[in-house]
Every structure is written in structure tokens, then in C-alpha cells.
Chain A
Amino acid sequence: MFKKFSSEEVSAQNQVKASVQRKIRQSIAEEYPGLEPVLDELLPKKSALVVAKCQNHLNLVLVNDVPLFFNIRDGPYMPTLRLLHQYPNIMKKFQVDRGAIKFVLAGANIMCPGLTSPGGALDEEVEAETPVAIMAEGKQHALAIGFTKMSAKDIKSINKGIGVDNMHYLNDGLWKMERLN
């Protein structure tokens, strides 16, 4: 989604009303309970949340010009990879095998066999349509943020086709946008 993303695709950038800010904070707190202790620092009540509306119904949540979360329409908020790297345990994790790394970094969606091979790993509790951190065999940090198309159990049993949509990956347009000016 962020393959060719750049600031040109931001169509409107608005400081949001207090009520909307509260709602965004609340959904993020619910989705990522692990972030709760640092949420006041990440999304300070005093500094304004800015929501940048982009093409394809994509919204970016920014604080001080730094993109922290994104979502599509009113889907679940997902952290940017830079934020996830800082707090790696806030999301459920899937792991792709080494062979899949280059495809993920080229923006490809994640195929089931890359998760079920000996180098891959699944968190069995994950349901369909859930944001997950995509880790890689032999690597410490996440390389992508994914959104599951199937549950972990189905990925394992069906073991064919796309298991997880690749939402955001290292070196894509969002990664390169450390700040939005």
C-alpha cells in the first residue's frame, strides 16, 4: 500500500477535534494494551493529533509531524514500523522464513508456505483480519506490518495462497517518511 507512497498523496492534513482525538486514543489503547503505560507520552494530550487523509481511504495519525499509526477507512489502527521497533511486544507476531524476506521487502503479500515452513512461525491465537507484526527467521526486528486474510489455523491447514496482506514494510514510502512536513 505504501510502495509508492509520498507526501504528495496526502490530500488533507487536519488537526482533529478533541472528541475525535479521544476516540483515536481509545481505539489505539484497546487494540494495543501493551502501549497503555506510554500512551500519554506517545500521544500527549497537550499536543494535537493530526490526521492526514491520503489516497485509497488511508489515514495517518501524526504527532509533531511524525507518523505513528495508520488505518484504512475506520479499520483497526496499526503502528508504523519505527514505532513497532521501539515497542515490539505490542502486537502478535508471525515469522516468515529467510527465503521470504526479499519478497516481503519488495512489497509482496505473505504467502502461507513462507509462514509454515521450518523457518516460519505462527501465533496460533491470531484470527483473520488482525494486524500482526511480521518477523523473519534469524532476525530480531520486524520487517513488515501485516493484516491477516486467514486465521493462523487456516494458514496452517490450507497452506496455500496469500495468508497475510503486507500493509507496510521496511523501505516503503511510509518508512521513508520519517516526518511529514
Chain B
Amino acid sequence: MAEKPQPVRVLYCGVCSMPAEYCEFGPDFEKCKPWLIHNAPDLYPDLIKQSNANEADKVTEQLQSTGMSSDGATPSAPKQEEVKRLPGGKIKKKEKQEVVIEKVIRNKRKCITTVKGLELFGVKLSDASKKLGKKFATGASVVKGPTEKEQIDVQGDISYDIVEFITDTWPDVPDTAIFFIEDGRKVPAA
């Protein structure tokens, strides 16, 4: 008889009931966020960053409304000047205008290049995605990133030619505003 397998314990979200890693695709990611910050901080590191910075009051609000204690997540006071309320009470962080390019390795040798932030320069992402796909003769699509922001995923490693293409195609984007993520660090492309 084969060795007895131990059952895997999966972390299920206390709000939407799915494995916590799928909350971002769940019926209401916003509602899961306070739970995730407490129970699955490793899965969504960006949430912690957000909650520690500008979205602090929103998160605290949600923690209170879901009856969870907010200790451990007591964030510093939000900087008012950087917070802008959108219709519907959503808070939007004023973002630094920059384009961030990251190469992500998937399944051993396959890889994709993600491009974030073009929309901050008034570029239409669907249009940009088409242009990128055409230029590099590959698949490119607009997808929602882990933090619910849209980004462009381009199949293959195109990170070395992409800077020139971006500055040529969209002159509004200066090369000083383009950054690469390398080994987890942000480095200027120029």
C-alpha cells in the first residue's frame, strides 16, 4: 500500500469562502480585503502596502463594519493631500506618473512582460496592447493586475526593446518615467 497522503489544508477566505488566493477574482474583492490583510498577508503583499499608506481609513472603516478588530493594522494617518475621493466614496491614490515594466517567468521557460502605468499618460490600454502585440508579433492583452489595476501582458521577453518602442509611439512618455523591476527592485530604464 502506498504511503498515506496527508490532507492539504487550504486557507479559505472567511468572507467569500474561496481559497484566499482567488479572492481577487471573487464576487467582491473589496469585502475580502480586510480579512486578507489579517489572515493572508503573504498572498496579497500589495494590500498591506496600500493599507499602510493611503487607503488606511477605508480599510479601518471596513474592519469596523465587518466587526473585526483593527489591531495590528493600525496604519499611520493618511496624507490628506494625496487622497482624492471619487464619486461613490472610493478613495483614489494620486499616482506617480510612471511606466513599470516587469518580466515574469511562467512555467520554466515561458515568460511574459507586464507593462503597467501607460494609462497615466493618457494612453488607451486596449490600443497600446494591440500595438505592442503587432510590433513584437506576439500576444498582448489588457488584464487586471493583482491590485485590480489594469496592465498589459505581452507574451515573451520583450523588455529590452520595449523602452524605445514606448517613447517612439507615445512621445508623452519620457524615458525617465520608465522603470524596470529587476530582482524585485525598481531600476530606471534610461
Contacts and interface: CB of A to CB of B under 8 A. Distances in A.
Contact of A85 (B10, B16, B155): B10
B118 to A, nearest CB: 18
Contacts of B27: 171
Nearest to A41: B4
Interface of B is mostly: loop
A156 interface: no
B86 interface: no
Contacts of A99: 141, 143, 153
Interface string B5-22: 101111000001111011
B181 to A, nearest CB: 16
Interface in B138-188: 139, 141, 143, 153, 155-156
Given A88-B8, A99-B141, A141 B106 contact: no
A88 B155 CA distance: 29
A140 interface: yes
B8 A86 contact: yes
Interface in A78-110: 85-89, 98-99, 101-102, 105
B130 to A, nearest CB: 16
A141 B21 contact: yes
A89 B5 contact: yes
Interface in A102-142: 102, 105, 117-119, 121, 137-141
Interface in A55-75: none
B22 A170 contact: yes
Interface stretch (B31-39, B56-64, B107-115): B107-115
Contacts of A143: 22
B26 interface: yes
Contacts of A87: 5, 7-8
A139 B5 contact: no
A85 B8 contact: yes
Contacts of B25: 101-102, 105
Interface stretch (A3-11, A18-26, A30-38): A30-38
A117 B154 CA distance: 11
A175 interface: yes
A37 B5 CA distance: 7
Nearest to A142: B19
Given A105-B22, A171-B27, A118 B16 contact: no
**Closest A-B pairs by Cβ, 5 of them:** A86-B7, A118-B110, A37-B4, A85-B10, A141-B19
